[in-house]
Amino acid sequence: MGRIFLIDLEGNFYSCKHCQTAFALVDDIISKSFQCKHGKAYLFDKVVNVSVGEKEDRIMTTGLHTVVDIFCVTCGSIVGWKYEAAYEKSQKYKEGKFILERYKVLGPDGSEYNPPQDDVEDA
Ligand SMILES: [Zn+2]
């Protein structure tokens, strides 16, 4: 176990709400229209300073996907997931892309997001 090497991001970025580790640039957002169990989730082209979990198949409202959970490298909290593979043709654009759950991260201005209380369907 060595010292964790963190990548610095320049500009406006989303960061871990527990330890402020930088994750992803505002400029790398592909879509803000995702929903997860805890409200809003954003699709990013690139996310840094995360480690990945085991691959698993998940059936989402948009079909079957192979995903890995992503974790903050500094504090180990789960922050979202990465799409390894999508099986529906219309969903292929998500392959290799990342979801950050909005309530897990701080916004570029340090803002927190509180998830709605009512249950929302999986992304
Ligand atoms: Zn963290």
Nearest to 98 by CA among 84, 114, 112: 84
Q: Give me the DSSP letters along 46-94.
A: ---SEEEEEEEEEEETTEEEEEEEEEETTT--EEEEEEEEE-SGGGGGG
| pLDDT higher than threshold 70 for residue 121 | no
What pTM was estimated for this model as a whole?
0.88
Beta-bridged to residue 63, according to DSSP, are: 60
Query: Ligand 1 centre from 18 Cα, in Å?
Result: 5
Label residue 59 by pLDDT band (50, 70, 90): very high
Average pLDDT of the residues in 63-72: 97
Round to whole Å and give the CA distance between 49 and 106.
Answer: 15
Query: Ligand 1 centre from 87 Cα, in Å?
Result: 31
Query: Ligand 1 centre from 4 Cα, in Å?
Result: 12
Q: What are 81-116's pLDDT values in tens digits? A: 999 999 999 999 999 999 999 999 999 999 988 876
Structural domains in the chain, CATH included, are 33-106 (2.170.150.20)
Average pLDDT of the residues in 43-63: 95
Beta-bridged to residue 105, according to DSSP, are: 16
Count of H-run helices and E-run strands, the chain? 0, 9
Q: What are 11-49's pLDDT values in tens digits? A: 999 999 999 999 999 999 999 999 888 889 999 999 999
Round to whole Å and give the CA distance between 21 and 72.
Answer: 8
Query: Ligand 1 centre from 20 Cα, in Å?
Result: 6
